[in-house]
Amino acid sequence: MPSIQLDRILQSQGFGTRKYCRQLIEDGEVAVNGVVVDDYHTAVETQGLVLSLFDAKWTYREHVYIAMNKPAGHECSRKPSHHPPIIDLLPDPMRLRDVQSVGRLDHDTTGLILLSDDGAFIHTQSSPKRHIPKLYVATTFEPVTDDLLMALRSGVKLVDEAEPLAATHCRKLDEHRIEIALEQGKYHQVKRMLVAAGNHCTALCRVAIGELRLEALGLAEGEWMFLEAEHLALLRPSSAGA
């Protein structure tokens, strides 16, 4: 990776305006790989760079890829209507990096949501052409029946869709819970499919995207983590869409 002037590096990582970043450096608030640097003109190699600022360490990342276990009562929009945005659960530098969610979960839906400041990644992961399955656990109002599972597997007709929509995978977990996988990502799809199949959803949690599983990440509700290369490799399309 190339060497970049230190104030530009801080700005790219979401620490503030160029002017503010220069002031931080001149005040001796910034250390590069453990060594304080007070000249903002200093060119620094970004490969393996670790910055220390306000007693916290930050690893340089050209782009950030984040997994969050979204709690209920938060909206994925940066301009929410009725509930706080999930961006409030991230540290301030993520806001200045313009981190956005990859797709959305309803305010009352919990579970795995991805966020990034990489526009190409967001577009690719959001594209229906990728056929990346999303796995959910849905709690139902009425007991789960064989007829319900059969309807979800074979496809149900929604009022604003030309063709029936079917789950790629669906199984009963207990009397009031099912595990259901979808590829289409339509608006309120799980909830609307359950209604069309003669039941309705009382709680919904997304537990996996591709082969990236929330359980394996070990995130409690409201917690988040940076995704590394090995995690990103799990965000695979299904064999049908590959």
**What would the two tokens of residue 9 be?**
């590096």
Both 114 and 226 in a single domain?
Answer: yes
Within-domain flag for 112: yes
Alpha-carbon distance 114 to 105, whole Å? 10
Which 8-state DSSP code applies to residue 102?
S
Range of the domain at 179: 133-209
Both 113 and 140 in a single domain?
Answer: no
Both 111 and 227 in a single domain?
Answer: yes
What CATH number is attached to the domain comprising 107?
A: 3.30.70.580
Both 48 and 77 in a single domain?
Answer: no
Both 121 and 220 in a single domain?
Answer: yes
pLDDT in tens, 158-213: 988 888 999 999 999 999 999 999 988 788 899 999 999 999 999 999 999 999 99
What CATH number is attached to the domain comprising 41?
A: 3.10.290.10
Residue linked to tokens 């530098």: 93
Both 146 and 195 in a single domain?
Answer: yes
Alpha-carbon distance 23 to 113, whole Å? 36
Name the band, by pLDDT with cuts 50, 70 and 90, for residue 86: very high
* Total domains in the fold of the chain: 3
For the segment 27-49, the average pLDDT, to the nearest whole number, is 94
Both 120 and 143 in a single domain?
Answer: no
Name the band, by pLDDT with cuts 50, 70 and 90, for residue 238: low
Both 34 and 150 in a single domain?
Answer: no
- Indicate whether 151 pLDDT > 70: yes
Within-domain flag for 241: no
Neighbours of 93 (CB within 10 A): 16
Active-site positions read 106
Kind plus residue range of the DSSP H or E element containing 122: helix 119-126
Both 203 and 191 in a single domain?
Answer: yes
Within-domain flag for 237: no
Both 115 and 159 in a single domain?
Answer: no
Both 141 and 120 in a single domain?
Answer: no
Residue linked to tokens 């949501």: 113
**What would the two tokens of residue 118 be?**
């990489």
What was the pLDDT predicted at 174? 95
Which of 59, 74, 91 finishes a domain?
A: 59
Both 22 and 80 in a single domain?
Answer: no
Q: Is the pTM of this model over 0.85?
A: yes
What was the pLDDT predicted at 33? 92
Within-domain flag for 98: yes
